[in-house]
Amino acid sequence: MNRDELLKRYAAGERDFSGVELSGVELKGVELYGVNLSKANLSNVNLGYADIISSNLQEANLSGVNLDHTRIDECNLTGTNLRAMDAFQSSFIGSNLTGADLSQALLREIGLQGVNLSDTNWEKANIDSWFVVEFKHYLKKVYLKRTVLYVDDTNEINNCEANLTDAIYYNSRGFKDTAANDPPGVIRIYPGADLSRLDFSGCNLRNLDLQGVNLSGSNLRGANLIHTDLRNANLTNTDLRDTYLRYTDLQGAIFCNTIMPEKRIEENQLHNVEDPEEINYILDLDNDELTFDDDDQ
């Protein structure tokens, strides 16, 4: 089904679109009230500036969906797949997200007043700490494992009611206090940090300033590094298989025995490398390892 057919049938009074196939369809700005989209496939759909109100999205697939300034209020989202969604200034006010999968999601300034977040999965998401503090009562039983939190005040975040074990604290200016009072397993990341031999597989590290970090020996397999600043980072023996490297800034990064994605770095990223000829790397197609030419070492 395409956008025109959906809106035509909606205008004619139809409201049952359960199980419909809409993957990748452009739905920016649509207004849908009281519709049944249960078990529908809306993966990778652009729903920016859309209004979906008082609707049933139970067990629907919204993975990778764009929710920029979107309202999904008073909706049934139980068991819905929201994995890797990108939501900015959107609202889920009064919605039921019981059992929803929000892993690897990117969330900024969203509204969750009156929501039910029971048994939701937030693993490896990327959210601002304001959100965690503001909605701490809703996050009581939520496990934020390997979730990136933009943290300004560590005391405030450490004292909230969410389960922050194994969370990732990020501050582009570094931290003024020690990690002594952090929950177990918390990783602090900031420009220049020593992040060697750590597991960031599948984490959403999008848009972070990680200049000069030491990621040697770390596992970044499947991580989201879109628009991430990795200038002068040490990527020696780092596993980058299946990572998202679009628009990643790799100028001056150190590559030695780095396990690369199956595809070469996209051409539009090479402008970030100060002088590609100075890197002198070759891609070993047998083991996908990035190595330096022997003649240049």
> Would the CA dihedral through 11, 66, 162, 111 be positive or negative?
negative
What does the alpha-carbon distance between residue 31 and residue 49 come to, in Å, rounded to a whole number? Answer: 9
- The residue assigned the tokens 């700490």 is 129
Provide the token pair at 240: 């980058």
Q: Is 186 exposed, middle or buried (0-12, 13-18, 19+ CB in 10 A)?
A: buried
Provide the token pair at 286: 């047998």
- DSSP symbol at 119: T
pLDDT on residue 261: 84
Q: Hey, how many other C-beta atoms are within 10 angstroms of the C-beta on 276? A: 13
* Residue pair 123/147 in contact by the 8 Å Cβ criterion: yes
SS3 118: coil
pLDDT tens string, the chain, 297 residues long: the values are 999 999 999 999 999 999 999 999 999 999 999 999 999 999 999 999 999 999 999 999 999 999 999 999 999 999 999 999 999 999 999 999 999 999 999 998 888 888 888 888 889 999 877 777 777 777 766 778 899 999 888 888 888 777 889 999 999 999 988 999 999 999 999 999 999 999 999 999 999 999 999 999 999 999 999 999 999 999 999 999 999 888 999 999 999 999 988 754 443 343 344 444 333 333 333 344 444 433 444
Q: What is the pTM of this model?
A: 0.77
